[in-house]
Amino acid sequence: MKISSKFECKNVLFSVEVFPPKKENPVESIYAAAEKICTLSPDYVSVTYGAGGSAFQQKVTADLAAHLKKHGAEPLAHLTCVNSSLPEIRSMLRLLKENGVENILALRGDRAPEAGGDPELPHASDLIRFIRETGGGFDIAATCYPEGHPECDSLEEDIVYLREKVDRGATHLISQLFFDNGDFYRMLELCDKAGIHVPIQAGIMPVINSRQIQRMVSLCGAKLPTKFSKIMARYEGNPAALFDAGICYATEQIIDLISSGVRGIHLYSMNNFKVAETIHRNIKNILRGVNES
């Protein structure tokens, strides 16, 4: 089913991101975690894609998406463009179609250091246009950045390019993770002013260990509010306490977002079923309530 149709039937969607096996990872444990996540009946499950776009990366993303479908979940396959040729992207679109995938998250990805020459599709908006022109009837989602994309000079400029992604056919947006809801609300206001009216889901990552936080901040540059940093510092040496505190922080963020009318929560649970299950338990009555009203 197309995710845009789900947004037509529901006020608030709940979705979870999973990542496919890397070469060194055992496939079974990742598939087992993904299957357990399906038991939570999320509205869809997104499957990440290696920005290199190799044949191996194409296969693991397409295979996991097909596996999720077999287990009753709607997959959203991520697809990046910046390191790939047009024939490579065409072959991935074919593979996704053959695997019954109807929804794609169109991304630029990050340029591989070894990549030479100019990319054929330099931005996510170019990939969106390409997917539309290629056909296949995919529903297309794109990303947005509550604190602005790290390469952009300002949030305002980032939103000009975001509008381009929507104009070229993105039917919903998923945000980068953030820890201060104020940043997300500011971005929503700017989107509204810029005429972006597609549903925007908030990306939430429950942080349950300090290694994870350092990695995430260096990768995406998310700002850490004082309240959040205090929690991390206080419980750093106590994994059980940090788990509870990280889950509570994310749950509070989610409740505030849903109370403020957000159209969806996208959970970055890092293939950790316990995290997804605990957050889902905390908010399932809230989700049921807002979707009945």
Q: Is residue 78 close enough to count as binding ligand FAD by CB under 6 A?
A: yes
- Would you say 165 or 243 has its CB closer to ligand FAD? 165
Q: Which is nearer to ligand FAD, 40 or 200 (CB)?
A: 200
Q: What's the closest the beta carbon of residue 165 comes to ligand FAD, in angstroms?
A: 6
Report d(CA 182, CA 147) in Å as an integer: 10
Binders of ligand FAD: how many residues, by CB under 6 A?
21
13 makes contact with ligand FAD (CB under 6 A) = no
What residues numbered 185-204 form the site for ligand FAD, per CB under 6 A? 203
- The CA distance from 178 to 281, in Å, is 21
Cβ nearer to ligand FAD, comparing 92 with 107: 107
Q: Which of 98, 110, 236, 252 binds ligand FAD (CB under 6 A)?
A: 110
Between 132 and 149, whose beta carbon lies closer to ligand FAD? 149
Report residue 281 CA to chain centroid gap: 20
Query: How many whole angstroms separate alpha carbon 208 and alpha carbon 279?
Result: 12
Residue 264 in the binding site for ligand FAD (CB under 6 A): no
- 149 binds ligand FAD per the rule CB under 6 A: yes
Q: Please select the residue that binds ligand FAD; options are 33, 124, 254, 279, rule is CB under 6 A.
A: 124
Dist CA 144 CA 133 (whole Å): 23
**Active site (annotated) includes residue 17:** yes
Cβ at position 78, least distance to ligand FAD in Å: 3
State the residues that interact with ligand FAD by CB under 6 A.
48-49, 51, 78, 80, 107-110, 123-125, 143, 149, 151-152, 158, 161, 174, 176, 203
